[in-house]
C-alpha cells in the first residue's frame, strides 16, 4: 500500500465528516462553542401570559384583606413568661433527677 494514497483517503474522509458536522450544526441552530450565560429564565424577563382584568385583581386582593382583618399578634405577659420558665425548670430538674438514678 502506498502511504500517500492512505493519507489522501484519510483527508477526504475528514473533509466529508466535517461537512456533515457543519450541516448538522446549521440545522440545529447551535454553534460549535458551548453556550455562555446562565441557565433558566433571563433576569428582568416577565412571566406575563395574559392581561390581568379588574375582576381578577379583586379576587387576588381578597386574601390580603382577610389577613389584614385578623387579630393582632398575641403577646406573652411577663408573669406568663415567668410561669412557663418555672414550669420548664421544674420539668428539667425532674429529668436530671431521673437520669441520675
Q: Higher confidence at residue 100 or residue 35?
A: 100
What percentage of residues in the chain have a pLDDT greater than 90?
Answer: 45
Q: What is the pLDDT of residue 72?
A: 87
State the Cα angle at 32 between 29 and 36, rounded to 5°: 85
- Report the alpha-carbon distance of residue 76 to residue 84 in Å, rounded: 10
Which tens digit of pLDDT belongs to each residue from 3-13? Answer: 999 999 999 99
Which tens digit of pLDDT belongs to each residue from 52-78? Answer: 667 666 666 666 555 666 788 889 999
Which tens digit of pLDDT belongs to each residue from 37-48? Answer: 778 887 777 765
To the question of pTM greater than 0.75 for the whole model, the response is no
Amino acid at each position: 500500500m502506498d502511504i500517500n494514497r492512505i493519507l489522501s483517503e484519510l483527508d477526504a474522509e475528514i473533509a466529508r465528516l466535517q461537512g456533515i458536522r457543519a450541516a448538522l450544526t446549521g440545522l440545529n441552530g447551535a454553534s460549535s462553542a458551548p453556550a455562555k450565560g446562565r441557565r433558566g429564565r433571563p433576569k428582568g424577563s416577565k412571566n406575563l401570559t395574559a392581561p390581568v382584568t379588574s375582576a381578577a385583581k379583586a379576587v387576588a386582593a381578597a386574601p390580603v384583606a382577610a389577613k389584614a382583618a385578623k387579630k393582632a399578634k398575641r403577646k406573652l405577659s411577663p408573669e406568663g413568661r415567668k410561669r412557663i420558665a418555672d414550669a420548664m425548670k421544674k420539668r428539667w430538674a425532674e429529668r436530671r433527677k431521673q437520669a441520675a438514678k
